[in-house]
Amino acid sequence: MAGLALVAGFTVRVLSAWNHRLWQGNARFTLMVTSDPPVLVSYQSDPGDLLTLSFPANTEIAGSFNLGNWSLESLAKLGDMREFRGQVLTKSLQYELRVPIDGWMGEGGNILIGAQNGNGLWALLKGMFATRETTNLTFFDQWRLFWEVRGLSAAQRRPLAAEKIGLAKQARFADGQIGFKLDKEKIKTLALRDLQDMIVSQENVGVGIVNTTDIAGVGEKAAGVINTMGARVFWVRTQKGNVERCLIKTNSDSSGTLTVRRLAAIFNCEVKKDALAAPVEFMIGKGLAEEIPR
């Protein structure tokens, strides 16, 4: 009986991991490794391109969840304190960089994507027993990432350091401490040049953004992320509405697109068919607006 219970428990765990996997299809997959220093990892399976971008830990940005300005290392610690774990750092950088980020991992992420030897396999095996404290990727997400990147050539791997490419620039903060701040123009160039999803871009789906809250500026910040994803933002407007978190309205032409699936996954939104949507309306409610840094 004990053996049957063990098998049943393992089966349930595997099925749950399959149903909740973050990476579906051949879309670009981007994750935040909450290591010291933090590293953004972005992989496009076709043609096979892996970009890793490290940041100085004392880079200051605006934090999600209305936390104010903090260094990256402090945002990681705040996530642990508030039991949001890596979500605080991930969401904060998503809007600061204008880059859709699918998930996050702890230190094991560097081993998983960086090794072409047994160390990566060991990290993968450990991932089978990962908890929400260490990652929000499922075992299947980790397996696919490990399997695809292990065969990449050196030319297909692009390791970058934010301070060396001028993305992070030294600055003096209000308390007199020396750290780094991110260059907004270089962020925009890097995002649109190197981090767009090629498949979403080829779909060429237009998105209209509706901010249904009284929180100013959240529509424009969401637009930056959506543009980098590869969709075309037609307009951003404010309109009163009863939306709890966010709602994606699609017409019949756009409902089955990768663009819509990516929007729903990145922002955790409900999708609803609407013949009047032209062709996608992305409606921001209070739940999502409070997650976007001011």
Q: How many domains does the chain have?
A: 2
Distance from the Cα of residue 31 to its chain's centroid? 6
39 and 164, same structural domain? Answer: yes
Please tell me the distance from the alpha carbon of residue 138 to that of residue 140, in angstroms, as a whole number.
Answer: 5
214 and 151, same structural domain? Answer: no
In a domain, 184, yes or no: no
Share of the chain above pLDDT 90, in %: 59
245 and 148, same structural domain? Answer: no
Is the confidence at residue 15, as pLDDT, over 70?
A: no
In a domain, 60, yes or no: yes
| pLDDT for the residue 10 | 39
155: Cβ–Cβ under 8 A, 6 or more apart, which residues?
none
272-282 pLDDT, tens digit per residue, is 999 877 789 99
Ranked by mean pLDDT, which of 3-7, 83-87, 107-111 comes out on top?
Answer: 83-87
| pLDDT for the residue 76 | 86
In a domain, 187, yes or no: no
261 and 141, same structural domain? Answer: no
3-state SS assignment for residue 196? coil
In a domain, 192, yes or no: no
In a domain, 254, yes or no: yes
In a domain, 32, yes or no: yes
283 and 226, same structural domain? Answer: yes
3-state SS assignment for residue 115? coil
Could you tell me which residue, 124 or 32, shows the higher pLDDT?
Answer: 32
Residue after which a domain boundary falls, among 172, 187, 220: 172
159 and 82, same structural domain? Answer: yes
N-terminal to C-terminal alpha carbon distance within the chain? 55
54: Cβ–Cβ under 8 A, 6 or more apart, which residues?
37, 38, 39, 40, 159, 160, 161, 162
Phi, psi for 133 (deg, rounded to 5): -75, -20
57 and 152, same structural domain? Answer: yes
106-141 pLDDT, tens digit per residue, is 877 777 777 544 455 555 555 555 555 688 888 888
| pLDDT for the residue 147 | 85
235 and 104, same structural domain? Answer: no
| pLDDT for the residue 280 | 95
**Strand-strand pairing, 60-63 and 68-71:** antiparallel
For the domain that residue 107 is a member of, what is the CATH number? 3.30.420
| pLDDT for the residue 26 | 76
For the domain that residue 211 is a member of, what is the CATH number? 3.30.70.2390
In a domain, 178, yes or no: no
Is the confidence at residue 85, as pLDDT, over 90?
A: no
85 φψ region: left (φ > 0), alpha (ψ -120 to 50), beta (else): left
204-227 pLDDT, tens digit per residue, is 999 999 999 999 999 999 999 999
Average pLDDT, the chain: 86
Q: Which residues form the domain of 82?
A: 2-172
Angle at 93 between CA 131 and CA 186, to 5 degrees: 145
215 and 114, same structural domain? Answer: no
